Structure 1
Amino acid sequence: MRIHIDRDVCIGAGQCALAAPNVFTQDDDGFSTLVPGHDGPRPDPMTREAARACPVGAITVAAPAD
């Protein structure tokens, strides 16, 4: 699973970190970032829900490129 956070769009609402705390956190400035090691053998099922919860659509989730 590929996850992209558009930092130019992110407003730091934190909805992603609430929905999928194993995948998303907030940096020192309050903006969304990925938790180190989030890409384990089984993707967190809440990742897509976290992307949907973003009020500004700053997160995209896609299947990995082959």
Structure 2
Amino acid sequence: MSDVKITVERDRCIGAGQCVFNAPELFDQDDEGTVVVLEEQPSPEQEPAAHAAEHACPARVISLS
């Protein structure tokens, strides 16, 4: 595991799906299209995809800490 943790503000999600497009192993969408985090702590190999999803989100609801 890496030291990176994924958090999202689900109530602000607009359902664009860019997180799933960029990191399908880390994110999914529920029936309403709202982001769902599949893995809160990505592996070091998954970190680039997590960062890509964070930067691609038009609503800026994804944070990495």
Gaps of 5+ in 1: none
Query: Aligned equivalents of 2:11 and 2:37: distance in 1?
Result: 16
Query: Aligned equivalents of 1:23 and 1:58: distance in 2?
Result: 14
Indicate the percent of aligned positions where both proteins have the same amino acid.
41
Find the partner of 2:30 among 6, 24, 27: 27
Q: Which runs of 4+ in 1 moved over 6 A?
A: none
Question: 1:57 matched to which residue of 2?
Answer: 60
Deviations 1:2-53 (A, max 9, x none): 1111012110100000000000000111100112xx236x241200110100
Q: How many residues align?
A: 59
1:18 lines up with 2:21 in the alignment = yes
1:8 lines up with 2:21 in the alignment = no
Question: Could you say what secondary structure the match of 1:55 adopts?
Answer: coil
**Structure of larger gyration radius:** 1
Q: Which has the higher helix share?
A: 2
- The root-mean-square deviation of aligned C-alpha atoms, in Å, is 1.3
Letter in 2 for 1:56: A
